Amino acid sequence: AQSVTQLDSHVSVSEGTPVLLRCNYSSSYSPSLFWYVQHPNKGLQLLLKYTSAATLVKGINGFEAEFKKSETSFHLTKPSAHMSDAAEYFCVVTPFYNQGGKLIFGQGTELSVKP
Amino acid sequence: DTEVTQTPKHLVMGMTNKKSLKCEQHMGHRAMYWYKQKAKKPPELMFVYSYEKLSINESVPSRFSPECPNSSLLNLHLHALQPEDSALYLCASSQGRDRVNEQYFGPGTRLTVT
């Protein structure tokens, strides 16, 4: 069965320092992977997606993620955090054998950014 | 335009009320979704519509009744809700249900059941 594990429930960084949000997935086949961000009392916004093309994926707002099959990881990074990056981040997978549009969500990582 | 709109933004209803949530997209997407999200948790899938037909019902109680009047609109009718149904209700849409299709989410309706 497919699953997603976000390794940190909360990450705190200082403004201007790098961000690393970790995500491991479990899948027998090559999955599609996504990162979404949710600001307080807002909907989810797609940051980036991996669908078996380039393993380094660039997204919006300076975020990028690298798909590493050998490590079954899809970590999200940003070189320099901004105050506006403070939000909840979800790593999401859709299994190879698609289940009609179902998404498998990680439990989320709350990112705090200190001035 | 990658926008999904939802109305109302906030809704307070009593346990005997009937209300509806509305979702709209104009991206030509043929799949639409309802999710329920509790605080500090990921969204939970409730329903999936594909080409205006209900394709997935995640064993949601019958007090939630979805409706897809046309390819752009999705409604969620609420009746006799319980306080534990208080949550953020999110609508999403995607081009199709293929695994490579990302879902676009609306801002949500914050529902409080009193």
The answer to whether the beta carbons of residues A63 and A76 sit under 8 Å apart is yes
Cβ-based neighbours of B65, under 8 Å, separated by 6 or more: B76, B77, B78, B79
Q: Check residue B98 and give its pLDDT.
A: 72
Residue whose C-alpha is closest to residue A20's, from A92, A93, A107, A109? A109
User: What are the two backbone dihedrals, phi and then psi, of residue B34, each rounded to the nearest 5 degrees?
Assistant: -115, 135
Query: Cα separation of B29 and B9, whole Å?
Result: 22
**Tell me: the pLDDT tens digits for B64-93?**
999 999 989 999 999 999 999 999 999 999
pLDDT at B38 exceeding the cut of 70: yes
**Tell me: the pLDDT tens digits for A40-78?**
988 999 999 998 778 899 999 999 999 998 999 999 999
Q: Check residue B99 and give its pLDDT.
A: 67
The mean-pLDDT minimum among A18-22, A101-105, A106-110 falls in A101-105
The answer to whether B11 contacts chain A (CB < 8 Å) is no
Pairing of strands A109-114, A10-14: parallel
pLDDT confidence band for B101 (50 / 70 / 90): confident
Contact flag A106-B88 (C-beta cutoff 8 Å): no
Average pLDDT (B18-24) is 97
Pairing of strands B10-13, A109-114: unpaired
Residue B18 in tokens: 């009937």
The answer to whether B104 contacts chain A (CB < 8 Å) is yes
Task: Report the CATH number of the A2-114 domain.
Answer: 2.60.40.10
Residue whose C-alpha is closest to residue A31's, from B44, B99, B42, B101? B99
Average pLDDT (A87-113) is 88
pLDDT, mean over chain B? 93
The answer to whether the beta carbons of residues A110 and A90 sit under 8 Å apart is no
**Tell me: the pLDDT tens digits for A27-41?**
767 788 999 999 998
Q: Check residue A98 and give its pLDDT.
A: 61
Q: Check residue A41 and give its pLDDT.
A: 84
Cβ-based neighbours of A76, under 8 Å, separated by 6 or more: A19, A20, A21, A23, A35, A47, A48, A63, A64, A65, A89, A91
Taking the domains of chain A in order of start, what are their residue ranges?
2-114
Q: Check residue B100 and give its pLDDT.
A: 72
CA distance B72 to chain A (A): 18
**Which amino acid is present at A111?**
L
More confident call, B98 vs A55: A55
The answer to whether the beta carbons of residues A112 and A8 sit under 8 Å apart is no
Q: Check residue A16 and give its pLDDT.
A: 97
pLDDT at B2 exceeding the cut of 80: no
pLDDT, mean over chain A? 92
The answer to whether the beta carbons of residues B83 and B68 sit under 8 Å apart is no
Query: Cα separation of B36 and B110, whole Å?
Result: 10
Query: Cα separation of A52 and A66, whole Å?
Result: 11
- Size of chain A, expressed as the number of residues it contains: 115
Q: Check residue A2 and give its pLDDT.
A: 78
User: In sequence order, what are the beta bridge partners of B17?
Assistant: none
Dihedral class, residue A101 (left if φ above 0, else alpha if ψ from -120 to 50, else beta): left
pLDDT confidence band for A102 (50 / 70 / 90): confident
Contact flag A32-B4 (C-beta cutoff 8 Å): no
Q: Which of B33, B68, B93, B102 to mutate to test the interface with A (most CBs of A within 10 A)?
A: B102
Burial of B70 (0-12, 13-18, 19+ CB in 10 A): exposed
